[in-house]
Structure 1
Amino acid sequence: MFLKLIWESFRFALQALKSNLTRTILSLLGVTIGIFAIIAVFTLVDSLEKNIKASFSFLGTNVIRVDRFPFGGGGEYPWWKYFQRPPATFQEYQFLKQRLKNAESVTISASADALLKAGSNSFSGANLEGVLFDYKEVFDVPVDQGRFFTELEISAARNVTLIGMKIANALFPGQDPLGKELKIKGHKFLVVGIFKEEGEGLFDLPSKDEACLVPYGSFAKMYNVGRFGIEPTIAAQGTEDDIGLIALENEMAGLLRNKRGLKPTQEDNFALNKSEYIQNAIGSIFDVISIAGWVIGGFSILVGGFGIANIMFVSVKERTNIIGIQKSLGAKNYFILLQFLFEATFLSLFGGMAGLLIVFLMTFVPLGSLEVTISFKNILLGVGLSSAIGVVSGIIPATLAARLDPVEAIRST
């Protein structure tokens, strides 16, 4: 019975489309534009947010960094006080590594822009970073060829390096860089690994394509690391059950205050920055854009809903005689009601699917470094929203049809 009802409703919906094609298309255009506007905005927002967050992947996930400056700014805190704060030290890293209980791993690193050379080729502006073995436990190290450093290479401060794809192509064009040597500030380094290529990002942010990793000790030999030189950064990876990294943040703050000899009345002379801060800030911005998409698409859907309601009122008027015959043959009110509700839903789905098709075709349009993809979640949202509009638009005409008196309906012409 249910399947028969669906089939008849689908058939009547097709008849409504065919009987007055121009009127029906114009009426469904509102739903099509509305669904397109909402899903297009959501698709662009999701894709843009995904690309931007990927650009900040160098900050790590579920990570707290020890810095002098907070990510969110200091508010009314005098900016000049930040410069008076001491930078993180290797001794503080060792202190935290030995005592932190709410961290999966702790590491320290230091970075600088560097000029790399190999024979007559050079690459300027490389993001040179000195790291320890536990660096790969805190940050993502996507090695495509070769390997990461061994613990022996790190502890012995050997001159080995991992380089990005841009550096590899610039210094060793048409060659396999593994096992080759390059020079950093006159020091020879052996290439043991190459990062997976990331491609162009939306912003000019640190990329693994331009990255060059060396052991922390090797970095310290070439650069002055400390208060009057390059400031290192301590980073700790939190546990998965520590929601918001609250436990880790409190523990790190207490240990750092203890290590730096701060009295209870003294304020912190360090900033604990969470990698999620920037991602949450980005998410808040896109939430506002999503609301704008709802408003813009909502007006179009409202117009489309009235269009479908108009089609259904006309359909009820044209089929009043048929409704009377059906009821005289024993058709229940709910049968008539569901028949028109299904018809309204199918009509709305036709318009919604057309909107989704336009969004899908839009994903093939090249937008530079922005890769646009329509998610399954947004497809379900479009289908669900179309169905809901169909039900809301068809409920009044369907109710009127179900309440028709069979005798009066049969007499109508």
Structure 2
Amino acid sequence: MLIIFRQVLESFRFAWQALRSNLLRTTLSLLGVTIGIFAIIAVFTIVDSMQRSIKESLGSLGTNVVYIQKWPFSFTDDYPWWKYFQRPEPKYNEYRLLSERLENAKAVVAMSGRGGVTMKNGNNSVSARLSGVSYDYKEVSDVPIAQGRYFTPQEMEAARNVTLIGWEVADKLFPNQSPIGQTIQIAGLKFSVIGVGEKKGAGFLEIGGNPDLRCIIPYNSFAKLFSSSRPNLTICVKGYESDPGLTNLEGEIKGLLRARRSLRPTQEDSFAINRPEAVVGFISGIFSVLTFAGWIIGGFSMLVGGFGIANIMFVSVKERTNIIGIQKSLGAKNYVILLQFLFEAVLLAVVGGLVGILLVYLLSFMQLGSLDIVLTPGNILLGTLVSVIIGTIFGIIPAALAARMNPVDAIRSK
């Protein structure tokens, strides 16, 4: 064990001398490895951060839920796009039907929304997204309340003018005071504030907009406000955990809606049953392309860096030929010489890789909108492992040449 430790220490000393003796040459040679590792780990880090942020944003859509809408989340090539225009919008009576008849549903929600709605309180005003929802909305979506309470079933059924506002809406309309029990004007009508949501902040891809800039009212109240423009209705259905894949729920929904719309067996569905997973799948495809591009760009850079390391190692073998001969004449085995130079090549590559990882770490302090960049231990390990592999691949040939030298010829060399 002591011998192995001394060999590693000696290899480290040789590698450090190579770094110090030709600092400019070494730096330029390792620049390719640094750029390559930076490109790969930067792409991986940004993609991981985006995926994490998007998953958190999609969490607002709920789990084990399906959305019944006119338009699908993704389009298929075998279905003409113009047929989507002929589909009817979901109706409130269809929501009532599903709410009463579905046996595999834990909750059924009617919801609609409109962005850019002006809300006022005296001289204070704010433009926010207004959402109309039915009572079970809290079952399919996270609605954390910092102050006040949620709607009651009676308020929902009677379409009372009550509202649950986001944190930023409350802050702008009621600075330095509690909004609970106060009234705000929405589209000319007064609504009583019964609750304020917790401060969440906008996600990288927040579905439905910033939750802090949102105002929720009963769906029937929303329908009264915009009855002239016939607001689009989305029906959200939450299934049970005992229904894997929600296949039973989806089949039951299709049966009830097709019967309600009098569709013959040969006719296609005139509605879309959307799942949040479809959005995740689409975005994952984009991320796969970005990751592949990162590997390509980083691969070319590391290839250049690898040849730079090989060049350093060939020069190092040439400069230390006499020392190699002396070591072998004193009994050093071939594998000792091989590992000595191989360790030096790996160390050079790792140094270049660590510099690239350090640059990615510094990148994580940059503000990219609402995206929070986090360099994970997994990506650090990946960058280090790739550096070790590059050092091993491009250092093995010079190390093998050094290990096979004839000690007599090596000592006689100048």
> Normalised by the size of structure 1, how large is the TM-score?
0.86
User: Which amino acid is 1:398 matched to?
Assistant: A
Q: Secondary structure at the match of 1:303?
A: helix
Counterpart-to-counterpart distance in 2, 1:239 and 1:26: 60
Q: Does 1:192 pair with 2:195?
A: yes
Following TM superposition, by how much is the alpha carbon of 1:56 offset from its aligned partner in structure 2, in angstroms? 5.7
Alignment of 1:388-403 (within 5 A): 388-403=389-404
The question of 1:165 aligning with 2:186 is answered no
RMSD: 3.2
Asked if the contact 1:61–1:276 (Cα under 8 Å) also holds between the matched residues in 2, the reply is no
Whether the 8 Å CA contact 1:109–1:132 is kept in 2: the answer is yes
Q: Which residue of 1 aligns with 2:87?
A: 85
**Could you tell me whether the CA contact under 8 Å between 2:53 and 2:203 is conserved in 1?**
no
Q: Deviation string for 1:236-283 (max 9, x for gaps)? A: 235668776555444432343244342211211111122222332222
When residues 164 and 327 of structure 1 are mapped into structure 2, their CA distance, relative to the original with a 3 A threshold, is same
Of the structure 1 ranges 137-146 and 27-36, higher mean CA displacement relative to structure 2 is found in 137-146
- Decide whether the 8 Å contact of 2:114 with 2:130 is kept in 1: yes
Distance 1:90 1:240 in 2: 26
1:89: Cα distance to partner? Answer: 3.4
Rounded Cα–Cα distance in structure 1 between residues aligned with 2:112 and 2:348: 61
Give, in whole Å, the separation in 1 of the partners of 2:108 and 2:331: 76
8-17 vs 254-263, greater mean Cα deviation: 254-263
- Single out whichever of 398-407 and 97-106 deviates more from structure 2: 97-106
2:387 aligned counterpart, secondary structure: helix
Deviations 1:36-72 (A, max 9, x none): 2222233334445555666666544553210112222
Letter in 1 for 2:119: L
Cα contact 2:342–2:396 (8 A) shared by 1:
yes
What secondary structure, in the 3-state scheme, does the structure 1 residue paired with 2:227 have?
coil
| Aligned pairs for 1:200-215 within 5 A | 206-215=209-218
Return closer, same or farther for 1:164/1:316 CA change in 2, 3 Å cut-off.
same
Q: Which shifted more, 21-30 or 242-251?
A: 242-251
Q: Could you tell me how far apart the structure 1 residues matched to 2:137 and 2:322 are?
A: 78
**Could you tell me which of 118, 128, 131 is aligned with 2:130?**
128
Indicate yes or no: 2:289 matched with 1:288: yes
Q: Kindly tell me the number of residue pairs found equivalent between the two proteins.
A: 410
- After TM superposition, give the deviation of residue 75 of structure 1 in Å: 4.6
Alignment of 1:21-36 (within 5 A): 21-36=23-38
1:361 aligns with 2:362: yes
Q: 1:258 to 1:17 in 2, by over 3 A?
A: same
Tell me the distance in 2 between the aligned counterparts of 1:239 and 1:403: 69
- CA distance in structure 2 between the partners assigned to 1:74 and 1:392 by the alignment: 46
Superposed CA offset, 1:193-213 (max 9, x none): 224241485789622122111
Cα 1:411–1:96, aligned 2, differ >3 Å: closer, same or farther? farther
Alpha-carbon deviation of 1:334?
A: 2.7
* Contact 1:143–1:196 (CA under 8 A) maintained in structure 2: no
The letter of the residue matching 2:177 is Q
State the match for 1:116 in structure 2.
119
Q: Distance in 1 between matches of 2:294 and 2:95?
A: 46
Q: Which ranges in structure 1 are unaligned for 5 or more consecutive residues? A: none
| Segment of structure 1 superposing worse, 201-210 or 279-288 | 201-210
Deviations 1:105-155 (A, max 9, x none): 43221223543232333334x322222332122123243444433455445
SS of match in other structure, 1:380: helix
The SS at the match of 1:24 is: helix
Quote the Cα distance in structure 2 between the aligned partners of 1:95 and 1:330: 89
CA pair 105-14 structure 1, distance change in 2 beyond 3 A: farther
Deviation at 1:286, TM superposition (A): 2.7
Partners of 1:96 and 1:192 lie apart in 2 by 29
Q: 1:298 maps to what in 2?
A: 299
- 1:174-224 deviation per Cα after TM superposition (whole angstroms, max 9, x unaligned): 222233222334233233222424148578962212211123344345443
Report the CA distance between 1:336 and its aligned residue: 2.6
Q: Does the Cα contact within 8 Å between 2:60 and 2:207 map onto a contact in 1?
A: no
Matches within 5 A, 1:11-410: 11-51=13-53, 58-73=60-75, 75=77, 77=79, 81-97=83-99, 100=102, 105-113=107-115, 114-124=117-127, 126-151=128-153, 153-155=155-157, 157-184=159-186, 185-199=188-202, 206-224=209-227, 229-238=230-239, 248-410=249-411
